[in-house]
Chain A
Amino acid sequence: MVKKKFDIGPYLYLLPALVIIIVFRLVPIVLSFVVSFYEWSINGAGDFIGFANYQKLLTDPEFWQSMLNTLYLVIFVVPLSLILSLVFANFLNNITRLRAFFRTVYYIPTVTSMVAVSIVWKIIFNQQTGLMNYLLGLIGIDPLGWLAESRGIFQLMFGEGVPAWAGGPSLALFSIIILTIWKGLGYNTIIYLAGLQNIPETYYEAASIDGANKFTKFFKITLPLVSPTTFYVLMMTTITTFQVFSQIYLMTGPPVGGPLGTTKVIVYYLFEQGFGESQNLSYASAIALVVFFIILSLTLFQRRLEKKVHY
């Protein structure tokens, strides 16, 4: 028997991509851990400081404020986007005429740049010259502060009696929430539509024969069978919402993250620490890694949940 000669071919095909991905992805990911444990200026490593950056995070009020703001974003954007996109996908699945047209219309915000749409929405929310207050004016409602309003939405809805901690996201942050849902809704709808189209029609027919109504069919057939898509959409939306940056950078302030820090999200805080005046690269790295571990544990948690609820 002839021993098979070592075949270098496959590695040569892999090489160009491998080099780029190792040097510009794997190395930086590993490096980010290292950087967070050292005093690190742009020119090189300084002293080893161990977990000092992480300890500092625990008592940094701005960090916790940014975390809270990010959490508000996720809590509002993810469920709303999921429910709306599933509903729209369901309706889209029920029609044949104009389906392609609606699909295209819904998807357009996804291909446009966040920078450009942030500029547009910033003006939409402008108190004096914006569309929102113009539309409110048409139906006789007083103008709102939108991006300039630091009070929580629950305080605005239910009056000053609501304590500050229960006030919810500021109206400014809520404006960002609206934009963020709008931007991602089309993508989620299209993904859901693809998921719905994989459910065999025969299940619905069988249910009809058994006398199931619309709602029973939705909750007993559609929802369970589309759950793999739900998990995917849930995961992707959560991950991207955690990384919101451009809309904060462009729409809020000055200073960015305002009013009163109610729109400062974690990735913007990281950016400010790393590339702002302080140029504290190692502190910024520590923040980045905290974000990473939150995202990672959410992903793993969802994976585990998915295995449990698999049909």
Chain B
Amino acid sequence: MRDKKIFAFIILGLCGLFMITPFAWMLATSVKSQLEINKGNNGFIPYVEADYLDLAGDGELLRCKVLKPAPGDSLWINIFDENDVIIASYLKVPASKVTHKKSIKFFFTNFAEAWKKVPFGRYFLNTVFVSGISVIRVIITGSLAAYAFARMRFKGKEFIFYLFISMMMVPQPVYLIPSYILLHHLGWLNTYYALIVPWLANIFTIFLLRQQFKSLPQELFDAASIDGCSRFGALWRIVLPLSKGVIATAAIFAFIGSWNSFMWPLVMIDSPQLRVLQVGLSYFSAEASSQTALLMAASTFSILPLVLLFLIAQRQIMASFVSSGLKG
């Protein structure tokens, strides 16, 4: 039994390693110096390889670069200060005073450099704006519709519901082109409208909330109606407060979907001013394709907000997989 457990941990650990290694390498590479990357330092440790001069022999090292050997067991070197500025050039020193050393060094400046290279601040603001508005509206339209589907009787209910569900299965590429034409005729291409309005309602959210609203006991609603609570009152005072967890999950899913969407904004937006993060990042990757460290830094700060959100909300998200209709 114990051996079995250990075996399970080994397999799971290896899989975990496979899942996490790309991120670990991304972080490591994001703080490397591009020079070292190009020299072939492609492992996980951001080190700098350089020559050092111990002039006084007291262990205080000055960074230098060996230019060429000089007669009499000596070397010609240049000496640099911390900012890579030459402070002495073509100096002849005894070879014994020069050492070659690898030292770990983190280039956090890569982050600032990547951030400034293209207007990432602007991209972030655009994304937060678009995703924020969409998610709030998606929850509002979704709650209202789910409330109707779950707790009301009306003609055509089944039909509309199945229409919704079947449209959920239609892949985005199918409606991408006609949407582009539609938005063109509305004059919305290249505006925030194109990114927001079509996504103000989400079938998946409606589906998720409907499952939750259906599960609430009818007695609650009977009691509320005896107390003179209106239909909207019941939604506002009973349904929503009792469904906070599922609403939070639905909001997180909608937010992740909106934040990560790429093909839609890529097609609908031309203006650099309106680029969302994913589109901006893709342009950046084409522009800076040889600057590995900067690309990794940009990927890191693009991924970070969602990973943090997920880590905070993961208990909620995982619970929803077990309890809701997300599984088969």
Residues of A near any B CB (own CB < 8 A) = 7, 9-11, 13-14, 16-18, 20-21, 23-29, 31-32, 35, 40, 42, 84, 87-88, 91-92, 94-95, 98, 100, 102-109, 111-117, 119-124, 126, 128-131, 133-134, 182, 185-186, 190-191, 193-195, 197, 228-233, 239, 242-243, 245-246, 249-250, 267, 270-271, 274-275, 281, 284-285, 288-289, 291-292, 295-296, 299
Contacts and interface: CB of A to CB of B under 8 A. Distances in A.
B316 to A, nearest CB: 12
B90 interface: no
Contacts of A129: 37-38, 40, 42, 292
Interface centre among A18, A95, A186 (most CB of B within 10 A): A18
Interface stretch (B66-74, B97-105, B170-178, B240-248): B170-178
A139 to B, nearest CB: 13
B298 to A, nearest CB: 8
A35 B22 contact: no
B235 to A, nearest CB: 8
Contacts of A95: 5, 8-9, 12
A291 to B, nearest CB: 6
If over half of B's interface residues share one DSSP class (helix, strand or loop), that class is named, otherwise mixed; here it is: helix
13 contacts: A11-B154, A16-B201, A20-B141, A106-B15, A113-B277, A115-B260, A124-B25, A128-B40, A232-B327, A232-B328, A242-B171, A245-B173, A288-B173
A113 B301 CA distance: 12
B310 A13 contact: no
Given A18-B145, A130-B42, A281-B177, A271 B171 contact: no
Contacts, number: 268
B19 A106 contact: yes
Interface stretch (B77-85, B179-187, B221-229): B179-187
B318 interface: yes
Contacts of A21: 164, 167, 201, 203
A13 B197 CA distance: 18
B4 interface: yes
B290 to A, nearest CB: 9
Contacts of A122: 285
B22 A28 contact: no
Nearest to B323: A194
Interface in B264-307: 266-267, 277-278, 281-282, 285, 292, 295-296, 298-299, 302-303, 306-307
A217 to B, nearest CB: 13
A270 B175 CA distance: 12
Contacts of A288: 173-174, 176-177
Contacts of B285: 115, 119, 122, 250
Nearest to B21: A131
B262 A246 contact: yes
Contact of B296 (A35, A123, A191, A274): A123
Contact of B22 (A102, A182, A295): A182
A33 B267 CA distance: 20
Contacts of A26: 163, 167
B177 A285 contact: yes
Nearest to B176: A288
Nearest to B266: A249
Contacts of B117: none
